[in-house]
Amino acid sequence: MKTTTPKTEPSPATQLRKVIFGGSLKKFSQFAKFALGALAMALAISAEVHASDVPLKPNIVILVADDLGYCDVSCYGSWIQTPNIDQLAREGMRFTDFHANGNVCTPTRCALVTGCYQQRAGLNGVLNPTSRSGLSQEEFTYADALKPAGYHTALYGKWHLGNDRPEYNPVNHGFDEFRGLLTGNIDYFTHFKDGKLDWWNGLKAQNEKGYSTTLIADHAVDFIQRMKAGPFCLEVAFNAVHTPIQDLQTGLPSKTADTYGKMTQAMDQGIGRILAALKENGLAENTFVFFFSDNGGHAGIAGSSNKPLRGFKGSFWEGGHREPAIAWWPGHIPAGQTTGQTAMGMDLMPTIMELAGATLPPGRKLDGVSLVALLLHDQPLASRKLFWGKGQSWAMRDGPWKLLREDDTTYLFNLMQDLSEQHDLAAQMPERVENMKADVEAWAKDVGAKVNTRETAPSKKRNRPAPDASDE
| Residues with catalytic roles | 105, 160
Q: What are the start-end ranges of the H helices in 281-339?
A: 318-321
3-state secondary structure of 235: strand
As beta bridge partners, residue 30 has none
Candidate segments 82-90, 101-109, 149-157, 202-210, binder of Ca ion by CB under 5 A: 101-109
User: Strand runs (DSSP E) across 280-381, as ranges?
Assistant: 287-293, 322-328, 337-339, 343-344
Q: How far is the CB of 105 from Ca ion (least distance, A)?
A: 4
> Residue 451 class from Cβ within 10 Å (0-12 exposed, 13-18 middle, 19+ buried)?
buried
In the complex, what is the shortest distance from the CB of residue 127 to Ca ion, in angstroms, rounded to a whole number? 12
User: Smallest distance, Å, CB 385 to Ca ion?
Assistant: 25
Tell me the one-letter amino acid at 256: T
- Told to check if 185 binds Ca ion by CB under 5 A, we report no
Among 31, 63, 65, 67, binds Ca ion (CB under 5 A): 67
Q: Which of 66, 139, 318, 367 binds Ca ion (CB under 5 A)?
A: 66
Of these, 85, 105, 123, 366, which contacts Ca ion (CB under 5 A)? 105
Min dist CB 265 to Ca ion, Å, is: 19
Cα-to-chain-centroid distance, residue 104: 14
Q: Does 235 bind Ca ion (CB under 5 A)?
A: no
Distance CA 259, CA 242 (A): 12
Q: How many residues bind Ca ion (CB under 5 A)?
A: 5
* Strands annotated E in 30-158: 59-65, 93-99, 152-158
Q: CB-based burial of residue 282 (10 Å sphere; 0-12 exposed, 13-18 middle, 19+ buried)?
A: exposed
Which range, of 18-26, 164-172, 289-297, 424-432, touches Ca ion by CB under 5 A? 289-297
Using alpha carbons, select from 319, 317, 321 the residue that is nearest to residue 295: 321
Does residue number 323 form part of the binding site for Ca ion (CB under 5 A)?
no
Residue nearest to Ca ion (CB): 105
- Please, what is the minimum distance in Å from the beta carbon of residue 55 to Ca ion? 33
Span of 103-111, 339-347, 359-367, 428-436 interacting with Ca ion by CB under 5 A: 103-111
The residue among 295 and 315 lying less far from Ca ion, judged by its C-beta, is 295
Per-residue exposure over 243-272, b if at least 16 CB sit within 10 Å of its own CB, e if not? eebbbbeeeeebeebebbbbbbbbbbbbbb
Q: Which is nearer to Ca ion, 128 or 338 (CB)?
A: 128
Q: Binder to Ca ion among 124, 287, 295, 393 (CB under 5 A)?
A: 295
Min. distance of Cβ 298 from Ca ion in angstroms? 8
Of the listed pieces 112-120, 286-294, 396-404, 459-467, which binds Ca ion according to CB under 5 A?
A: 286-294
Cβ neighbors of 459 (< 8 A, separation 6 or more) are: 407, 408, 409
Does position 294 interact with Ca ion (CB under 5 A)? The reply is yes
SS3 174: coil
Cβ proximity to Ca ion: between 15 and 306 the closer is 306
Residue 189 CB partners (closer than 8 Å, separation 6+): 211, 212, 246, 251
Footprint of Ca ion on this chain (CB under 5 A)?
Answer: 66-67, 105, 294-295
